[in-house]
Amino acid sequence: MSRKCLENKAQMEPKFKVRKYNRCPICGRPRGFLRMFNMCRCCFRSLAREGKIPGVVKSSW
């Protein structure tokens, strides 16, 4: 319940713009957010492995 409350709080417009922070829309994670893909690193990794993000391929060296 507390995570759901924090997700709703993050969606609201803050009184001061510096208080705004990003959350993953899929899982609600506040850290490890990738702005370019609008999701957290965990969700990005799982979706990239499944091939659901166009233009992203697994890199190996």
Q: Which two tokens stand for residue 61?
A: 């060296």
Binding site as annotated, residues: 24, 27, 40, 43
43 within a domain of the structure (yes/no): yes
CA 31 to chain centre: 8
59 within a domain of the structure (yes/no): no
Name the residue type at position 22: N
13 within a domain of the structure (yes/no): yes
For residue 21, the enclosing domain spans: 4-50
The yes-or-no verdict on residue 61 having pLDDT over 80 is no
Binding site as annotated, residues for Zn(2+): 24, 27, 40, 43
Q: What is the pLDDT of residues 8-50, one digit of tens each?
A: 888 888 899 898 889 999 998 999 999 999 999 999 999 999 9
Q: What is the pLDDT of residue 8?
A: 85
Total count of domains within the chain: 1
Burial (CB < 10 A; 0-12, 13-18, 19+), residue 40, is buried
